[in-house]
Amino acid sequence: MSSLLEVSGVSVTFDGFRAINNLSFSIGPAELRAIIGPNGAGKTTFMDIVTGKTRPDTGRVLWGEKSISLLSLSEAQIARAGVGRKFQRPTVFEDQSVADNLMMALKAQRGPLSVLFWTPKPADHARVAALAAEVGLADALARKSGELSHGQKQWLEIGMLLAQEPQLLLVDEPAAGMTLAEREHTTRLLVDLAKTRAVVVVEHDMEFVRRLNCKVTVLHEGAVLAEGSLDHVTRNPQVIDVYLGRSER
């Protein structure tokens, strides 16, 4: 299976601190992958590199069938290429309505002029309504997103991510601050999504990862420590050492 994203030999140093150390990672076009690791393992930095926020010192990041290098693209170009990212904190535009937030994220031309002359067609309104229904915000379309609860903001952000129709989804701690029922909903959604696209979930919560039932990559000190099923990696003595020996959580 050819891979959608291939990261090889990537290293990043912040003021002498090696955040990512010769990291290699690849994911196929329709795959669910969980990334776990203790604090400071480089999970967020890894996402920053893929989305163009941080430039690595060495290494390659190749994308898609044509193997385009993501390193020469800006954040916006990478997002347009099909990489969507959900942050740990829900970041929605609080001053604007739920519908406006979704409409902005909807897959469409992104240039200033085409956006200026863009008008929503009935199909776009229908798509926004469908997305809102999917994330349980159908009744809140006209509300300002700043009025939503924390969990609802999480859902709105997931909805915005879906609206972008990315080929690769990077999701940072999706279950943080969600109720048990919401977690189950999130799990179902992520597993569903991974049938048609690549999904990378960064998560602390082992229980949640177990429910995802997918291949797991363990990061430690900026490099891949182990890879495989959750049961496989949790039997790995090095992983046990990192997680239990130094009692991270």
Residues 163-222 that bind another protein (CB under 8 A): 164, 176-177
- Terminal Cα-to-Cα distance of the chain (whole angstroms): 36
Choice from 18, 80, 143, 185 touching another protein (CB under 8 A): 80
**Interaction of residue 60 with another protein, rule CB under 8 A:** no
Residue closer to another protein by CB (options 103, 233) is 103
∠ CA(240), CA(6), CA(10), 5° rounding?
65
Residue closer to another protein by CB (options 59, 177) is 177
Contact 56, 20 (CB under 8 A): yes
How many CB atoms neighbour CB 35 within 10 A? 24
The size of the interface with another protein (CB under 8 A), counted in residues, is: 44
Whole-number Å distance between alpha carbons of 177 and 90: 10
Choice from 67, 69, 149, 229 touching another protein (CB under 8 A): 149
Residues 124-143 that bind another protein (CB under 8 A): 125
Q: Which two tokens stand for residue 73?
A: 């693209």
**Interaction of residue 116 with another protein, rule CB under 8 A:** yes
The owner of tokens 């002498």 is 16
- The order of strands in the sheet holding 223-228 is 83-86, 168-172, 198-202, 32-36, 215-220, 223-228
Which one of 12-20, 29-37, 88-96, 238-246 is the stretch in contact with another protein (CB under 8 A)?
88-96
Return the sign of the alpha-carbon dihedral for residues 160, 162, 166, 168: positive
**Interaction of residue 55 with another protein, rule CB under 8 A:** no
**Interaction of residue 2 with another protein, rule CB under 8 A:** no
The owner of tokens 């069938």 is 65
Closest approach of Cβ 226 to another protein, in Å?
A: 27
Binding interface with another protein (CB under 8 A): 51, 53, 74-77, 79-80, 84-85, 87-91, 93-96, 99-100, 103-105, 110-113, 115-116, 118-120, 122, 125, 146-147, 149-150, 153, 160, 164, 176-177
